[in-house]
Amino acid sequence: MNDFDILTDSNLKNSFSVPSKVKELITVNKISCLTELYNSGEINKNTKIAGHGYNSIPKSEDESTFIKIAASDIEIVKSEGKYVCVKVGAGCGWDNFVKWSVENNYHGLENMSFIPGSVGAAPIHNIGAYGYEVSTFIVELSLFDLENGKFVTYKNIDCDFKYRTSIFKLAPNLLICDITFKIYKDSKYVLLAIEDKEISKYEETKELINLLLNSFTFNFSLKPLLKFKFDSVRDILKLSIIPTKLKRKLVKKIRTKVLPNPEVIGNSGCFFKCPILTNEQFINFKSLYPQVEYFESEEGYKISACWLIRGAGWAGRTKNGVHIDANKPVLLLNYDSATSENVLLVSNEIIENVMDKFKIKLETEAVFY
Ligand SMILES: Cc1cc2nc3c(=O)[nH]c(=O)nc-3n(C[C@H](O)[C@H](O)[C@H](O)COP(=O)(O)OP(=O)(O)OC[C@H]3O[C@@H](n4cnc5c(N)ncnc54)[C@H](O)[C@@H]3O)c2cc1C
């Protein structure tokens, strides 16, 4: 295998299935060759970074050079009493790493099973699912700075992780080469890591626990489970008494039911973030819209992006080949050969309409190159 490969006039694979051609795509198999690539002028501060394309919409034609890390080794670098530290190459598929950790009886990542994409992209918007965020498990990252050609290490605290964001959103020059994660030898330590919270705040929770415990063979129908509030499902998936391997299976079933498969229809998962309001903003907003759908988080009140988009009249509409899902309007789907320019247009129109109607700024989770 070459240390790196260069393709010219290459397609940039993306899960929204928009057509795209970029001037040059450099795939890096060996991290040490980055210095050589920088010194020879092949890469510089204008080079754009590509991952596996599940959260990014490339232009139809882009005259830029793109770089993509393919190195994907998984290596245990430290083993202490309660945990192991594992260094993973940025090119590793995120779910390949989660699968590896579950199969090797490590705990912590299982709720984030089946999130598509690369390990290297995971910290960018601090991926998360069912109450867990990747930032909880990150120790440090090795980065290559495309601005000065130097390697640098960032500790977790340097990354300014928040809900679906991090310092990397503002630093497109930082190429993530590998990440060291801390994962646990027993699931009970995971809860300690994410702060044990009161879990039975919802009436349904106990009922759901019974349902799960009685169904350990996993032959039950998921219909009753899906009737429960999302928050309850999230709380259940935090319970350490539920075996990690079972959680992974549960997550697979739930995700298959609620998320469209990009292999079947182009999409980028949830296209918009849920806007967060402060306590004061929320009180005002709720007095205007008592029926608002929201949930509380450590960072404030998260207003349902689905609720806002539906309220702005977009649920179920199709424009310029982009369809807005009727049930979960935070999902944008490539119905009819949409281009990235179409997606940008529709996305901007939704943001504008939500602003006009609710005076709230919706932001995209997906990245436009
Ligand atoms: C069906 C579906 C379901 C999804 N479900 C979830 C979910 O449950 N939770 C969730 O959080 N997200 C979810 N997503 C979004 C997506 O899976 C994540 O954002 C994932 O991290 C994208 O990885 P990627 O490699 O495809 O990134 P890309 O789309 O290739 O890139 C995304 C961004 O990361 C940057 N980037 C990529 N690699 C690197 C690197 N090595 N160094 C520096 N920057 C880099 C790119 O420049 C770009 O800005 C979903 C997407 C889909 C399509």
**What is the 92 CA–ligand 1 centroid distance (Å)?**
12
CA distances, 46 to each of 11, 121, 130, 260 (Å): 19, 18, 36, 34
Cα-to-chain-centroid distance, residue 99: 16
Do 63 and 80 belong to one domain? no
Question: Which pLDDT value is given to residue 192?
Answer: 59
> Nearest-CA neighbor of 238 among 203, 212, 211, 199?
199
Picking from 28, 51, 69, the residue at the C-terminal end of a domain is: 69
Domains contained in the chain, number = 4
* pLDDT of the residue at 223: 47
ipTM computed for the complex = 0.99
357 and 279 in one domain? Answer: yes
Same domain, 179 and 85: yes
List, for residues 219-231, the tens digit of each pLDDT value.
444 444 444 445 5
Residues 78 and 167 in one domain: yes
Segments in the chain below pLDDT 70: 191-233, 235
Q: Are residues 176 and 84 in the same domain?
A: yes
Does the annotation mark 365 as catalytic?
A: yes
CA of 113 to the centre of ligand 1 (A): 14
Are 272 and 246 contained in the same domain? no
Q: How is residue 178 written in tokens?
A: 């590998």
pLDDT on residue 253: 82
pLDDT of amino acid 214: 54
Q: How large is the angle between the packed helices 94-103 and 244-258, nearest 10 degrees?
A: 150
Where in the sequence is the domain holding 82, given as residue range(s)? 74-187
pLDDT in tens, 226-258: 444 455 667 677 777 778 888 898 888 888 888
Q: Are residues 85 and 38 in the same domain?
A: no
Whether residues 31 and 78 fall in one domain: no
**Ligand 1 contact, 116 CB (< 6 A):** yes
Please give the number of the atom of ligand 1 that sits closest to the Cα of 14: 29
175 with 86, same domain?
A: yes
Is the beta carbon of 266 within 6 A of some atom in ligand 1? Answer: no
- Quote the pLDDT of residue 108: 93
Closest C-alpha to ligand 1, atom 52: 269
Identify the pLDDT of residue 299: 87
Active site residue 24: no
Burial label for 87, CB within 10 Å (0-12, 13-18, 19+), is middle
**Quick one: 251 and 285 in the same domain?**
no
The verdict on 174 and 214 lying in the same domain is: no
339 and 287 in one domain? yes
Q: CA 245, CA 248: separation in Å to the nearest integer?
A: 5
**CATH number, position 64:** 3.30.43.10
Q: Indicate whether residue 262 lines ligand 1 (CB < 6 A).
A: yes
Residue 320, pLDDT score? 95
